[in-house]
Amino acid sequence: MTKYMPRAVRKTGLILFPAFDWCITPSHPEREERLLYTRDQIVEEGLEDVDGIEFFNPELAEYADIDRVHLCAPSSKALLTESHLISAGGAIRAAKAVMEKEVERAFAIVRPPGHHAMQTVFGDRGFCIANIEAIMVEHLRRHYGVRRIAIVDTDCHHGDGTQDIFYNDPDLLFISLHQDGRTLYPGSGFQNEAGGPAAQGYTINLPLPPGTGEEGFSMVTDRVVLPLLDAFKPELVLNSAGQDNHYSDPLTNMNFTAQGYARLNKAINPDICVLEGGYSIEGALPYTNLGIILAMAGLDTSNVREPDYDPRRFVQSALMNGQIEGICQNALDIFAARKKWDTGVRRGEEVVERKSIYYDTTGFGVDQVRHYKLCPDCPGYTEVEASGAGELMHGFTVPFNACSKCQQAARDAFARAAKAKGPREQVVLQDRVADIYETV
């Protein structure tokens, strides 16, 4: 329209919602101030006037959007505040903007984040209650008929919640780049965590050594992320765009930069980004968010640097490079050997997985047993029993890509469990095919 402002190559939507009146606690990293400086930078840059960058307010997600993904104890209504519905609604708004062709790309810069929220939710874990990205994925599938989706999680912490939710889904490729779990919360994300029985090799973890910088991220992007995306051929690529790999982040030990985030985004070329973590609120977030936005819009990112940026500070050692090469090779091997459900299995067989899940914000544990019910025709349904904090959740989940026999089997199992229900027990049927959430 005007030659007086830059023009985006790709029309890009921004859902910028810093929630200046919400915090976990006043001095918590997830506090009112977190996106203040990011908002200030974006507004001062004049992005609202850039041709082809559109701003949208978030919507409020509905409880049905939450219940399609999570099994909340005691309930989604009891656990989630309006702020969580807005954060999830921000991600949904981003998806809607892209799917309804208001824009080509969208970035939800919202808080609180969500990638540590697992399928069962008993409270706040790693600053997350609702997995806003997973909620967006199931919303996309439900309302826009999207099937194959890839999520690249570039937050410094392992995206254990997202991994948990899609662990047995061969229509979702989950790739997580993160600081090695032996050195950082949540302590998971090792390469042997590669997917459930119906989705072997569709979860790819890339645990990187502390101190990894631009060189290391470029290596895993070029050698693993891009070839895997090429091979998987998703309809949509999503980026859990956490920004705590930054060299100035107070919670982590990596060496990544704003220039690096911009380049990473250019390479992955995601359709939709959702902000996750990132707690260097002054030294990193204003610049990393700007770098990602400009990269999405196809605008010049060469001038996006931290005021104290000096590329000489970020040279990686040969030893570290060698280590990362090994991680890349493992990942490629795991993906090459990927395998959907086994058509040879007997219906009714199951694989059992036990987990202890720690809720760090208030400090309690949940013990969980998940039964993957095998099926020769589909990924099968799952049964999960989880107990903690005085609650007992007993859920039956029918995935969106289940066959009708599994759907019926889950309903029958739910009915039996409901009849045998104990006093503190909550029995839930979460049927994503029929979009039903029934609780007894």
Partner 1 sequence: MKTVGIDVGGTNADGVLLEGESLLAKAKIPVDHDNLSGVIIALLEKLLGDNAGQVDQVHLSSTLCTNAIVNGEMDEVGMLVQAGPGLNPEFLDCGENLVFLDGAIDHRGGLVKSPSAALVDAALADFSAKGLQSIGVVTKFSHRNPQVEQDLARQAASFPHVTCGHNLSGLPNFPRRVYTTWINAGLKTRFQQFSEAIRTGVKRLGITAPLSVLKADGGTIPLERAEAVPCESVLSGPSASVMGALALTPREKDFVVLDIGGTTTDIGLFADGVPLMEPYGVTIMGRPTLIRALNTRSVGLGGDSEVKWTEDGYVIGPQRHGVPAAFSKGKITGATPSDAMVVLNRMEGNRERAAEALRLLLPNNPPEETAREVLLSFGQNIKRAVEQMVEDVFARPVYTVSALLERQRLEPTEIIAVGGPAEALRSELAAAFDLPCEVPLNYEVANAIGAARTRPTLSASLYANSSDGTLSIPEIGLHEEIGRSYGMKDAEESLAAAIRHLAAQAGLEGELPPVEFVEREEMNTVRGFSATGKVIALKAQVKPGLAGV
Among positions 146, 151, 374, 378, the unique one binding Zn ion when judged by CB under 5 A: 378
In the complex, least distance from residue 1 CB atom to partner 1, rounded to whole angstroms:
7
Among positions 155, 164, 169, 306, the unique one binding Zn ion when judged by CB under 5 A: 155
Write the CB contacts of 247 (distance below 8 Å, at least 6 apart in sequence).
213, 254, 255, 256, 257, 284, 313, 314
Task: Classify strands 425-431 and 391-398 as parallel, antiparallel or unpaired.
Answer: parallel
Among positions 1, 78, 319, 420, the unique one binding partner 1 when judged by CB under 8 A: 1
> Which of 62, 60, 66 is closest to 129 using CA atoms?
66
Phi and psi dihedrals of 46, rounded to 5?
A: 80, 25
DSSP string, 319-340: HHHHHHHHHHHHHHHHHHT-EE
Phi and psi dihedrals of 108, rounded to 5?
A: -95, 105
Q: Which is nearer to Zn ion, 393 or 406 (by Cβ)? A: 406
Q: Which of these segments, 45-53, 66-74, 209-217, 409-417, binds partner 1 (CB under 8 A)?
A: 45-53
Alpha carbon distance 205, 161 (integer Å)? 13
Phi and psi dihedrals of 408, rounded to 5?
A: -65, -40
Q: Annotated catalytic residue: which of 116, 139, 158, 178?
A: 116
Q: Which is nearer to Zn ion, 14 or 375 (by Cβ)? A: 375
> Which of 13, 7, 26, 180 is closest to 103 using CA atoms?
13
Which tokens in the block code for residue 376? 């020769």
Q: Which is nearer to partner 1, 247 or 437 (by Cβ)? A: 247
Can residue 48 be called a binding residue for partner 1 (CB under 8 A)?
yes
Q: Which is nearer to partner 1, 4 or 145 (by Cβ)? A: 4
Check if 143 is active-site: no
Write the CB contacts of 344 (distance below 8 Å, at least 6 apart in sequence).
376
Can residue 406 be called a binding residue for Zn ion (CB under 5 A)?
yes
Which of partner 1, Zn ion, none is residue 26 near (CB under 5 to 8 Å by kind)? partner 1
In the complex, least distance from residue 13 CB atom to partner 1, rounded to whole angstroms:
12
Strand boundaries in 180-283, DSSP class E: 199-200, 203-208, 236-241, 272-275
Q: Which is nearer to partner 1, 57 or 329 (by Cβ)? A: 57
Can residue 375 be called a binding residue for Zn ion (CB under 5 A)?
yes
Can residue 186 be called a binding residue for Zn ion (CB under 5 A)?
no
Phi and psi dihedrals of 167, rounded to 5?
A: -60, -30
Can residue 86 be called a binding residue for partner 1 (CB under 8 A)?
yes
Can residue 377 be called a binding residue for Zn ion (CB under 5 A)?
yes
Can residue 392 be called a binding residue for partner 1 (CB under 8 A)?
no
Among positions 114, 209, 234, 242, the unique one binding Zn ion when judged by CB under 5 A: 242
Any alpha helices (H) in 243-353, and if so which ranges? 258-268, 285-297, 318-336
CA distances from 95 to 15, 91, 122, 222 (A): 10, 6, 27, 26
Please name the amino acid found at residue 434: A
Q: Which of these segments, 60-68, 76-84, 98-106, 149-157, binds Zn ion (CB under 5 A)?
A: 149-157
Q: ∠ CA 22-160-110 to the nearest 5 degrees?
A: 30
- What is the phi-psi region of residue 271: left when phi exceeds 0, alpha when psi lies from -120 to 50, beta otherwise? alpha
Q: Give the count of beta carbons closer than 10 Å to the beta carbon of residue 34.
A: 24
Q: Give the count of beta carbons closer than 10 Å to the beta carbon of residue 140.
A: 22
Which of Zn ion, partner 1, none is residue 390 near (CB under 5 to 8 Å by kind)? none
Find where tokens 């505040």 sit: 81
Can residue 302 be called a binding residue for partner 1 (CB under 8 A)?
yes
Among positions 8, 12, 19, 72, the unique one binding partner 1 when judged by CB under 8 A: 19
In the complex, least distance from residue 13 CB atom to Zn ion, rounded to whole angstroms:
24
Q: Which is nearer to Zn ion, 15 or 406 (by Cβ)? A: 406
Alpha carbon distance 175, 299 (integer Å)? 26
Q: Which of these segments, 12-20, 70-78, 310-318, 425-433, binds partner 1 (CB under 8 A)?
A: 12-20
Name the closest residue to Zn ion (Cβ): 277
Q: How many residues bind partner 1 (CB under 8 A)?
A: 52
In the complex, least distance from residue 44 CB atom to partner 1, rounded to whole angstroms:
4
Among positions 5, 24, 226, 332, the unique one binding partner 1 when judged by CB under 8 A: 5
Which of partner 1, Zn ion, none is residue 86 near (CB under 5 to 8 Å by kind)? partner 1
In the complex, least distance from residue 247 CB atom to Zn ion, rounded to whole angstroms:
15
Binding site residues, partner 1, CB under 8 A? 1-6, 16-22, 26-27, 31-33, 36-37, 39-41, 43-50, 55-58, 82-83, 86, 282, 286-287, 290, 294, 299-300, 302-307, 309
Binding positions for Zn ion, rule: CB under 5 A: 155, 157, 242, 244, 277, 375, 377-378, 403, 406
Catalytically annotated residues: 116
